[in-house]
Amino acid sequence: MDISELQSTLHLLFETLQGSPVFKSLRPVSIADRVVLLLFLLSTCGYLTRGHIWDRPDPNYGAYFERPQLVNSASSNKTIMTRNIYQRIEDGDYQVVIFWGSQSGTAERFAEVLGRECSTRFGINAMVADLSDYDAESISEIQKPYFAIFILSTYGEGDPSDNAVGLWDWIKRIKDQSTKLENLQYLALGLGNSNYKYYNRVLDVVVDAFDAAGATALIPAQRADDAVGATEEDFQSWKDEVFSLLRERGYEQKTATYQATLNVWLRPNSERHSDVSQQVSISHQQSTTCSTIYPLPIRSSRELFTAGDRNCIHMELELGNNDILYKTGDHVGIWPCNPDEEIERLLKVLGLKERRNDALDITVLDDSAKPKVPRGNTLESALRHHLEICALVSRKTILNLSQFAPTPSAKAILSEIGQDRELYAQLASSTHITLARLLQLASPVDPWTSLPLSFIIENLLALQPRYYSISSSSIVSPRCISITALVVNKVIDSETPESIQGLTSNYILSASKLQSKASLPTPSFQHTASPTLGSTLYAHVRKSKFKLPLTSSTPLILVAAGTGFAPFRAFLSERAKLHTIGKPIGRMILFFGCRNPDSDYIYREELGKLQDTLGEALKIVTAFSRDQAKKVYVQDRVSEYGNDLLEMLDSGANMYICGKASMAREVDGKIEDAVKRIKGLEQSGVKVWVDDLKRRGKWRADVWG
């Protein structure tokens, strides 16, 4: 509709209204009537002209959602993107597709490494595919000679990663639809943590469905276990099996040599960059579950432990006028920076201390490579804000590093560690093998001047946020979030001062300006501040399913140990607020465990005030593991109250468990034992009963490894 057509339509509408009996009977007789009529006509005109005269759609709107690497690639003009994976494989002349389902980025990284090595070692054109980019149903079309590889992570209560939801839904339908997959050949690796009850459940469900539908597993599915820190080693062992399979299928293996996927060089920096946006990781993607990253001002901090050599920090962050919104039970992702000591150590061992302020220029040479450092960063800012320089170096990386060794002895040391799994494990158990410490160990005197910066950026992980359960209620404090952080300092060798110092927890401690209670020296960090905001932390909010029921009268069972109490502080604060304004409150029982009531009973005074406010609606059951001769854990107290808990669950209560995965697994076992004893059910019946509660959202867990 053009402007002339709109004018004609409006004129006809006005004439029709004028001639109608209703219009005549409503003829304006006062100034107020005329104003109302004018407003009505203006509103009508505005509605009819929207999208034609005003609020026109941006013709380039779709470009906002395009991936730059696809828009800028030379092949983007030749290849029409499709969501049919089989068509994509044929169009791209690929021989294998490597799917990844990743929540934290590990499975994605493994898929990229495998794809790159398939190309460099065997000359195989391998496609690395994000599961969310393709319709899962089209996997059924993959047939010989092609085959598919799946690297799938499991997190939470046996849940798939966000990008694997489409695959998960299709897998559930395979059996119902009697889908046949006789032509599909596949390999699979699962990433999980055996501390969790549903260890590698996603892999098991997918593999069972494939096998039942007639697909062929070229080698048995393997599982990587993060509980014992074996994820990298398990991946390497599985990758060796994959390469053995490729050799058996006639592919000739070439000698592995380093081929850079990035071109990285340093140039003198003519201007010092002060743009704070460079401190924000480009690996973070705003989504329906994650907000934008913002610098959040620190309102206040306080120490929660009253004694001992550990710190537990309560910190409050202002949301200010940004667009971050949170709900009670959500998580906050804190983006740390690396400590000064590790940055200085790495610059020194690379022989680059004098070039710390030089600018990094990075060009992508391989379509599969993803930049981890934004443009315009100096070498120092890249090491401080964008790369995981404090992470453990994998055995595979150590072996690859040996080719750049400055001396024959350094090469021999790294080759021996890289080839001997037991020696590597022994070294890892006695020292924290960061990249800088490893290079320093192998060559204490000669710097690693021949080690390419491209190798460092490719092999170090992008710096990631650490997530904390928000310990404030969005109803009580909608524009301020609080976090409860235990500062981690794990001694790994009692005979030496070697320790693993939690990166983000020590970063939070440093930002709080509270005194460390640790006996070992604490790392020092560079903090951001502004004249208007003061000291800040970069953070974003991630949505969670760990939510209170809609009705405040629903009974609650809350089980926590240590800082697992954080979300329950928010839950109880919200219930107390509702109680004070006259809302009906359901019965609540809180199980809380810690070491000692006199040292680490966090929020003890607050809990006392909540108890006074809520009265009989709240019952607190404590467990202290180091307060008496016999250790009492929170799961022991849950077992004691088995009858009460089952009665509450049967009457509609919601149960929440928060803390370490090992604790949550023990609690699950105690409740299942109570179900067997009281209800007289067999294990199969117990599983049905538990699964029903979880399916209806009546049993939720928020746990970590």
Same domain? For 344 and 431 the reply is yes
- Range of weakest confidence among 252-256, 290-294, 493-497: 493-497
Final residue of a structural domain among 456, 475, 507: 456
Nearest by Cα to 484 from 561, 414, 584, 428: 561
The alpha-helical segments, DSSP class H, found in 460-519 are: 503-512
Same domain? For 316 and 354 the reply is no
Check: CB of residue 124 under 8 Å from CB of residue 165: no
DSSP per position, 511-569? HHTPPP--SSPPP----EEETTTEEEEEEEEE--S----SSTTS-EEEEEEGGGGHHHH
Copy the structure tokens of residue 520: 């070992």
Helix (H, G, I), strand (E, B) or coil at 143: coil
Check: CB of residue 151 under 8 Å from CB of residue 107: yes
Q: Is residue 282 part of a domain?
A: no
Same domain? For 79 and 168 the reply is yes
Same domain? For 231 and 95 the reply is yes
Same domain? For 241 and 317 the reply is no
Q: Is residue 617 part of a domain?
A: yes
Q: What is the mean pLDDT of residues 66-76?
A: 36
Same domain? For 202 and 242 the reply is yes
Which residues have CB under 8 Å from 201's CB, separation 6+? 154, 158, 192
Against a cut of 0.85, is the pTM above it? no
pLDDT band, very low/low/confident/very high, at 302 (cuts 50, 70, 90) = very high
Q: Is residue 368 part of a domain?
A: no
Which pairing describes strands 185-192 and 159-160: parallel, antiparallel, or unpaired?
Answer: unpaired
Same domain? For 481 and 618 the reply is no
Chain centroid to Cα 224, Å, comes to: 18
Q: Give residue-wise pLDDT tens across range 76-119.
A: 333 447 899 999 999 999 999 999 999 888 999 999 999 989 99
Rounded distance, CA 558 to CA 654, Å?
9
Give ∠ CA 668-106-217 in degrees, rounded to 5. 80
Q: What is the mean pLDDT of residues 463-485?
A: 96
- End-to-end CA distance of the chain: give it in Å, rounded: 60
Which secondary structure element, helix H or strand E, spans residue 657, and what is its range? strand 654-660
Same domain? For 532 and 587 the reply is no
Final residue of a structural domain among 480, 513, 544: 544
Nearest by Cα to 699 from 574, 473, 546, 543: 546
Copy the structure tokens of residue 670: 């105690």
- Range of weakest confidence among 18-27, 212-221, 457-466, 606-615: 18-27
Rounded distance, CA 492 to CA 502, Å?
13
Question: How many CB atoms are closer than 10 A to CB 201?
Answer: 20
Final residue of a structural domain among 481, 509, 544: 544
Q: Give residue-wise pLDDT tens across range 544-584.
A: 999 999 999 999 999 999 999 999 999 999 999 999 999 99
Rounded distance, CA 117 to CA 44, Å?
63
Same domain? For 518 and 531 the reply is yes
Domain that holds residue 430: 339-361+376-456
Q: Is residue 534 part of a domain?
A: yes
- At residue 195, the pLDDT reads 85
Q: Is residue 281 part of a domain?
A: no
Q: How many domains does the chain have?
A: 5
pLDDT band, very low/low/confident/very high, at 192 (cuts 50, 70, 90) = very high
Average pLDDT, the chain: 87
* pLDDT beyond 80 at 592: yes
